[in-house]
Chains A and B, each alone.
Chain A
């Protein structure tokens, strides 16, 4: 610990973070930040599950763990179902006041995990599911997932002479979850950390199934300087490419308007190496498509 004349006066933190230091996440990891904030908002009266992926690999390599809440990792696709079992057990024992938070990455939630997620939401079990979306299967080497955005470079959707990158649209996971008529479904981002924490706290006060989709930039997979994680996340919101929305029982109840802070999609795309291939003469048409995606979001959610 560094010591200066002034820091000698600092008292050590009263409460250590519930996802503490010493984990092996990359420098600047958006997911580590997202998980830290979620746990901070939830507090120690929490049991958490996680899906296979970056988060569990970098935080729980035996014999270490960075988690200071009771935590379990089972498999890739069953974080939601394991949380369902924990919640049912707690309910049966009369301990419903304990928060049960299921966590998973975009792959573990929207692709391989969607069955188990749908089950928990449909049964309206008292579980908060948090999806940390870094838009690819990062832990295994940046492969494309159902939440990878249009035209992004990934190791299984690289741009080339025949391709502009990922040729599919980002799955609207929020809409899928909200359609289960759950009491709360929302998007959040590490770009607005206090908003993220507020949404976690709000969700945990509601009884029933809750879903929180958190945008977590990845400096390695998205190819940007580690210090820009928050900047990238914030810009995504301001372009309309990642709308901040709250939904209750499948109705949009609140959005973050970007009229005053709106930025062109180029501002977001040029920050990241995974979109570099679009900045050429031939890429202009692709940029136009992405502008349209942003505009569609803005129109649909009324973000102007």
Chain B
């Protein structure tokens, strides 16, 4: 007799899949006018922006290049740049 298979998965295992391969544009954090408002962190649908003390960046393994962070940054410190490989 062998153990039953219940399909269940371990938390956060989605990080095996690098969605960063999807994007065509990437966010460039200029670290110039940033005021630590953390709006970029809050609005990222993929939870891949992190940082502190006026220095923030996106985890490019997962960033899909949606552009919401750049659009919402109140001080225009993020720019979407076409990614050329």
- Answer yes or no: A and B touching, Cβ < 8 Å: yes
- A residues whose Cβ falls under 8 Å from a Cβ of B: 1-2, 4, 6-7, 9-13, 16-17, 19-30, 32-33, 36-37, 59-60, 62-69, 190, 193-194, 219, 225-231
Say what secondary structure dominates the interface of chain A.
loop
User: A44 vs B26: C-alpha distance in the bound complex, in angstroms?
Assistant: 31
Query: Beta-carbon contacts of B3-19 to A below 8 Å, as 1s and 0s?
Result: 00001011111111111
Knowing A25-B45, A33-B43, the reply to whether A229 touches B55 (Cβ < 8 A) is: no
Whether A24 and B17, one on each chain, are in contact in the complex, defined by CB atoms closer than 8 angstroms, is yes
Point out the residues of chain B lying under 8 angstroms from A28, CB to CB: 45, 64, 66-68
Q: Given contact pairs A7-B57, A66-B14, enumerate 8 new A-B contacts (beta carbons under 8 Å).
A: A10-B55, A21-B62, A22-B46, A28-B67, A33-B44, A64-B13, A65-B11, A229-B66
What would be 10 A-B contacts, judged by CB atoms less than 8 Å apart? Answer: A16-B12, A21-B14, A21-B15, A21-B59, A33-B45, A63-B9, A64-B16, A225-B67, A227-B71, A227-B80
CB distance from B53 to the nearest CB of A (A): 8
- The smallest C-beta distance from A48 to any residue of chain B, in angstroms, reads 12
Given A20-B12, A66-B14, are A193 and B43 also a contact pair (CB < 8 Å)? yes
Closest 10 CB pairs of A and B: A227-B67, A22-B14, A17-B47, A28-B66, A21-B62, A27-B64, A66-B14, A27-B66, A33-B45, A32-B45
Cα A238 to Cα B70 in complex, Å, equals 22
Bound form: Cα–Cα A230–B59 in Å: 21
A230 with B43: in contact, given A7-B57, A22-B19 (CB under 8 Å)?
yes
- The smallest beta-carbon distance between A52 and chain B, in angstroms, is 15
Are A21 and B46 closer than 8 Å at their CB atoms?
yes
Q: Which residues on B sit within 8 Å (CB–CB) of A226?
A: 66-68
- Given the complex of chains A and B, what is the CA–CA distance between A228 and B72 in angstroms? 9
State the CA gap A291–B63 with chains docked (Å): 38
